[in-house]
């Protein structure tokens, strides 16, 4: 284990008294996540500056969450178009 150093202080279950507070924290976190996915972010999608870009993303069926070029179909298609255009002209 020489990289991404382990943090030995975690991974231990808290005592029962603190466990209740822990469950509350977990549920609060999950509620926040639910609100983000179904209330806050969908509402933001309707705002004037955000809506046009989001519309274009939905129409072209792009997964904006991909983080590397091989995960996106469009990189292969785009590269092929660019290369063939430059090669043939």
Polymer length in residues for the chain: 89
Compute the least distance from the CB of residue 17 to another protein, in Å.
13
Closest CA to 73 of 52, 53, 81, 54: 81
Compute the least distance from the CB of residue 80 to another protein, in Å.
4
50: left (phi over 0), alpha (psi -120 to 50) or beta: alpha
Residues that bind another protein (CB under 8 A): 1-7, 9-14, 19, 21-26, 29-30, 33, 37-38, 41-42, 45, 49-50, 52-54, 56-72, 74-86, 88-89
Compute the least distance from the CB of residue 20 to another protein, in Å.
9
Torsion from C-alpha of 57, 61, 65, 69, nearest 10 degrees: -110
């Amino acid at each position: 284990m020489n990289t991404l150093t382990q943090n030995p202080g975690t991974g231990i279950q808290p005592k029962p008294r603190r466990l209740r507070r822990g469950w509350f924290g977990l549920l609060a976190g999950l509620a926040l996540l639910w609100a983000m996915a179904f209330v806050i972010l969908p509402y933001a999608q309707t705002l004037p500056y955000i809506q046009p870009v989001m519309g274009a993303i939905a129409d072209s069926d792009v997964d904006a969450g991909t983080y590397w070029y091989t995960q996106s179909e469009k990189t292969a298609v785009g590269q092929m178009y660019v290369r063939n255009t430059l090669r043939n002209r």
